Structure 1
Amino acid sequence: MRAVVVRAFGGPEVLQIADVPMPVAAEGQVRIRVEAATVNPVDLATRSGALTEAGLLPARDVIGIGWDVAGTVEQTGPGVTGVMRGDRVIGLSDRLDVPIGTQAEHVVLDADAVTAAPAGVSPAQGATLPLNGLTAAQALDGLGLHPGQTLLVTGAAGAVGGFAIQLAVARGLRVVAVAGAGDEALVRGLGADLFVSRTARLGEAVRSLVPGGVHAALDAAVVGAAALDAVRSGGAFAALVAGGAPVPLRGIRVFNHWIRADGALLSRLAALVEAGSLTLRVAGTMPLDHVAAAHRRLAEGGLRGRLVLTP
């Protein structure tokens, strides 16, 4: 079968479509015939070697690429319950050190990392949910806010930011969205109460809208210290990438959120999609062998949604 791998770090040109052995589902696992796999910033960081430089991924002869998947279960390993052959599912591969990622014709995942695909959406749409939806939901859990409190979301027009707005609003939070001026209508449509342009001096602009500062920030755009300045003393701050956590000034609880697969939480997010409370955004689809072009386009920025590979 075919799979996207890298054997040397570098630009998109190092991505290869390799012929690899068909994976076999072991105990507690399922094999999925991949119908869609999303391209995310973590894939670019894996391919470039940035994750290895950061000490997050050992250097290997072959590294698989891809985290999100939507497809059909075609094999179940011993001990698997609740998932059957033929089920349409979405799931997350949350390990960096793998020879085959989800950008492949087939992938094996732990059964508790997948859930039924939301009804009424395409595989490409469903594949955009696991990594970015779980990141937003788990980071919000870590912030520990209560209904009525105020949350700052940077990168609010992006994939994680958009999910964060909608999930925060569903929790009764008041959202201040930070994005480009042209995205104000988009983020307000997702439920943001207040808007600040990303070109503004963030602390001052947010505090003019929310006296004393917001209760917490979810920093999807890796703004760092400027976003921290908008948080009130004793608040909370969620960073989403390695090296993105600013110094915890003024008693602010700063933490790096590290994503983990969670089929049960993913099921709840899928239910929100079915209810129309969570918006899936596909920026475009490409065949698997156009993966290098997808990496180049994502690196250019400005996408409103995710690019999806369709093996």
Structure 2
Amino acid sequence: MRAVVIRSFGGPEVLKVEEVPVPRAGAGQVRIRVEAAGVNPVDVAVRTGALVEGGLSERREVHGLGWDVAGSVEEIGAGVTGFAPGDRVIALSDRLDLSLGAYAEQIVLDADAVAPAPAHATSVQAATLPLNALTADQAIDFVGLAEGQTLLVTGAAGAVGGYAVELAVARGLRVVAVAGAGDEDLVRGFGAEFFVSRGAELGSAVRGLVPGGVHGAIDAAAIGTAALTAVRNGGSFAAVRGGAAPVALRGTRVANVWIRADGARLAELAKLADDGRLTFRVAGTFPLDQAAAAHERLAEGGLRGRLVLLT
């Protein structure tokens, strides 16, 4: 089968399509025929060696890429229940020690990382859900707000930020969205009650809308300290990019939220998408053998949604 791997760190040119053996599902695992795989910023961090330099991954001869999976079950291992060959599924590959990722024609994952795919979505659409929606959902869990409290979401027009707005609203939170001026209608359509244009003096702008500051923040745009100024004393702040968590000033509770696979919760998110409460946004598609071109497009910026590789 074909898979995209890297044998040295660098620019998009280091992404190579190679023929590799088909992996087999072990006990408690599922082998998935990948139809679509999301292209995410973390894939760039793998490609450039940033994760190795940051001590998050060990250097190996071969590194695989890709976290988001949408496809169908090919094989189930011993002890797996709830899935059968042919089932349409989505999944998150969250381990950094593997030589194969989702940029491949097939992948083996632990069954508890897998969920039924949204019934009314294409594989391309479904591939944008696992990493981004789970990141947003787990960040909301961390900030730990009660219904009616206020949440700041930076990068609200992006893939993680957009899901964060919709999921927060679904939990009864009042959302202050930060995005480019041209994205106000978009993020208000996600349910944001308040809007602040990117580039504004964030602390003053947010506190003008929410006296005393918001109860919590999800910093999907990696703004850092400037976003923390909008959070009231004793509030909570979730950074979703590595190294983007600011110092926890004024008694705030601050942390990087490190994504983890959670098939059970992913199944619930898929149902929310089927109910129209989560919005899929596909920025474009590329065939697997053009993964380098997809990374080049990602580097250009300005995307609203995720690029997806097709196998």
Aligned to 1:236: 236
SS in 1 for 2:234: strand
For 2:245, the equivalent position in structure 1 comes to 245
SS at match of 1:227: helix
Q: Corresponding residue for 2:294?
A: 294
Q: Quote the Cα distance in structure 2 between the aligned partners of 1:55 and 1:228.
A: 26
Which one-letter code corresponds to 1:216 in the other structure?
A: G
The 3-state SS of whatever aligns with 1:74 is strand
Q: Which residue of 2 aligns with 1:78?
A: 78
Partners of 1:243 and 1:88 lie apart in 2 by 35
- Paired AA for residue 110 in structure 2: D
Count of aligned pairs: 311
Secondary structure of the structure 2 residue equivalent to 1:199: coil
For 1:232-269, what per-residue CA distance to the aligned partner results, in whole angstroms no more than 9, with x for missing partners? 00000001122111000000000110100000000100
TM-score by length of 2: 0.99
Corresponding residue for residue 213 of structure 1: 213
Distance 2:119 2:196 in 1: 35
| Structure 2 SS opposite 1:279 | coil
CA distance in 2 between counterparts of 1:249 and 1:238 reads 14
Return the alpha-carbon distance in structure 2 between the equivalents of residues 242 and 67 of structure 1.
Answer: 16
* Match of residue 36 from structure 1: 36
3-state SS in 2 of match to 1:22? coil
**Counterpart position of 1:256:** 256
- Matched residues in 2 for 1:53 and 1:213: separation? 36
Compute the displacement of 1:18 (Å).
1.0
**How high is the sequence identity, in percent, across the aligned residues?**
70
- In the alignment, is the contact (CA less than 8 A) between 1:6 and 1:16 conserved in 2? yes
Residue 144 of structure 1: how far off its partner (Å):
0.6
Secondary structure of the residue that 1:38 maps to in structure 2?
strand
Query: Aligned with 1:135: secondary structure?
Result: helix
Counterpart code for 1:123: S
Q: Contact 1:228–1:246 (CA<8 Å) still a contact in 2?
A: yes
**Residue of structure 2 equivalent to 1:129:** 129
Distance 1:68 1:256 in 2: 20
Describe the superposition over 1:19-61 as per-residue Cα deviations: whole angstroms up to 9, x where unpaired: 1111000000010000000000000111011111111111111
8 Å contact 1:54–1:242 — kept in the other structure? no
Residue of structure 2 equivalent to 1:118: 118
2:15 is aligned to 15
SS at match of 1:221: coil
1:126-169 alpha-carbon deviations (Å, 9 max, x no partner): 01000000000011011110011000000000000000000000
Q: Partner amino acid for 2:258?
A: W
Identify the residue that residue 4 of structure 2 maps to in structure 1: 4
1:56 is the counterpart of 2:56: yes
Q: Which amino acid aligns with 1:296?
A: E
Pairs within 5 Å for 1:180-191: 180-191=180-191
State the SS of the aligned residue for 1:167: helix
Provide structure 2 residue ranges, at least 5 long, that are not aligned to the other structure: none
Is 1:89–2:104 an aligned residue pair?
A: no
Regions of 4+ moved over 6 Å: none
SS of 2:75's equivalent? strand
SS at match of 2:264: helix
Whole-angstrom CA distance in 1 between matches of 2:192 and 2:239: 20
What amino acid maps onto 1:24 in structure 2?
R
Whole-angstrom distance in 1 between the partners of 2:285 and 2:300:
16
| CA-to-aligned-CA distance 1:259-305 (integer Å, 9 cap, x gap) | 00000000100000111111111111110011001001111111011
Gap runs ≥5 in structure 1 = none
Letter in 2 for 1:225: T
The CA distance in 1 between the partners of 2:288 and 2:45, in whole Å, is 19
